[in-house]
């Protein structure tokens, strides 16, 4: 996990949400508060927590190090293809966003894949 949790990385949060009750909001807030560089992605666009929300990965011009998924597995399976096209080599699949086919896709495309763990909890173990 230490290879994925690094404050020097640029993260995209696939499934960012303006709804404070959703994990797409809670994760964004948590990581921003901890000092991470996070780019929110949601097809609706707009702004969340003062951050511009991109409608998709294609709109982002910065080099992205890690894609965090907090969407249903079917959405993850579609977007993981864009992750590979943009040469993002690390992904974090939040619980509920993963599927065996997505994990297999990551293996087949040499993408480091973390799953079955919550980044909000895990980042506390590695960042002081």
What per-residue confidence (pLDDT) applies to 1?
62
Render pLDDT for 8-22 as a digit per residue (tens, 0 to 9).
999 999 999 999 999
Domain count, the chain: 1
| 75, burial (CB in 10 Å: exposed 0-12, middle 13-18, buried 19+) | middle
Q: Phi then psi for 115, rounded to 5 degrees?
A: -150, 170
Query: pTM score, two decimals?
Result: 0.95
Q: How far apart are CA 67 and CA 8, in angstroms?
A: 14
Give the distance between the most distant pair of CA atoms in the chain: 36
Residue 51: which CATH number? Answer: 3.40.50.720
Q: Domain of residue 89: give its range.
A: 10-126
2 within domain boundaries: no
Number of separate helices (H) and strands (E) present in the chain = 4, 7
pLDDT class of 2 with cuts at 50, 70, 90? low
Render pLDDT for 21-45 as a digit per residue (tens, 0 to 9).
999 999 999 999 999 999 999 999 9
Q: Check: CB of residue 40 under 8 Å from CB of residue 16.
A: yes
């Amino acid at each position: 996990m230490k290879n994925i949790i690094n404050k020097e990385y640029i993260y995209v949060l696939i499934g960012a949400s303006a709804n404070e009750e959703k994990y797409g909001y809670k994760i964004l807030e948590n990581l921003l508060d901890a000092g991470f560089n996070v780019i929110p992605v949601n097809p609706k666009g707009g702004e969340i927590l003062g951050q511009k929300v991109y409608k998709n990965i294609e709109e982002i011009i910065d080099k992205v190090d890690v894609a965090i998924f907090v969407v249903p597995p079917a959405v993850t399976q579609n977007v993981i293809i864009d992750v590979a096209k943009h040469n993002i080599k690390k992904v974090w699949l939040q619980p509920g966003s993963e599927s065996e086919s997505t994990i297999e896709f990551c293996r087949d495309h040499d993408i480091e894949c973390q799953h079955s763990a919550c980044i909000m909890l895990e980042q506390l173990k590695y960042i002081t």
